[in-house]
Structure 1
Amino acid sequence: MRGWQKYKTRETTEVVVGAVTGPLAAPRTLLLGQYNDEGRLQCVGRTTALARTASTAVVGMLHRARRGHPWTGWSFSSGWGGETLDVTLVEPELVAKVGVDVVRDASGRSRYAARLHRPPPAGR
């Protein structure tokens, strides 16, 4: 008898928001990071376009980066050979829960955009 096998294609994980696209007062996407074994914040992907409610929910929790942001001088692209993104670095303080595809590239970044599961509660 043949049975079905289910393969997980997405997982939920926590990430640190390190930058945004769009204006800080109304972010379009979040650039996401995770700390590596050496304690460095590595970019692991970005979210899909934020719904207006999600964008509004995170605005008060994002603060423009001070000097010494771990991504200072980096450039980010929209994808494989895509255009360079105009980003605003933010203090890496906000932790968000996202759904990501399990497929990663050689550097460990998600090959597909993450979906913000829910904005963190206010005051977090």
Structure 2
Amino acid sequence: MRLTQVAQRADDLDRAAAFYGTLLGSSPTALFDPPGLLFFDLDGVRLLLDRNAPSALLYLNVDDVRAAVGRLPEGTAVVSEPHVIFTHEDDTLGPAGHDEWQAFVKDSEGNTVGLVSFAPHV
């Protein structure tokens, strides 16, 4: 079994498309409006931005959390600055010998989004 789709609330699809396009470095894959559905592809998992969805806490894997936060649109609220939360001794939850970095930001629609990356432990 694998995850196929995750939905996130987005009141303004144009604003959400701009925010997530910048964050993900890609364009939306589909827009159906009405009824108000915007899709991005997350490596085979659909991210649905939907006017009628509840807010969800998404954790998105990015190449470098610090760089990802740095390229967010001006005025993006950073809830938690990039920081190391864990060093992986084995491969149970991440690559062994790597630090797991996380940051939390507010998206254009007010949802909290977690950003995650891994870097070799020094």
Query: Do both share a fold (TM > 0.5)?
Result: no
Higher helix share: 2
In the superposition, the TM-score normalised over structure 2's length comes to 0.28
**Greater relative CO (CA pairs within 8 A, separation 6+):** 1
Higher strand share: 2
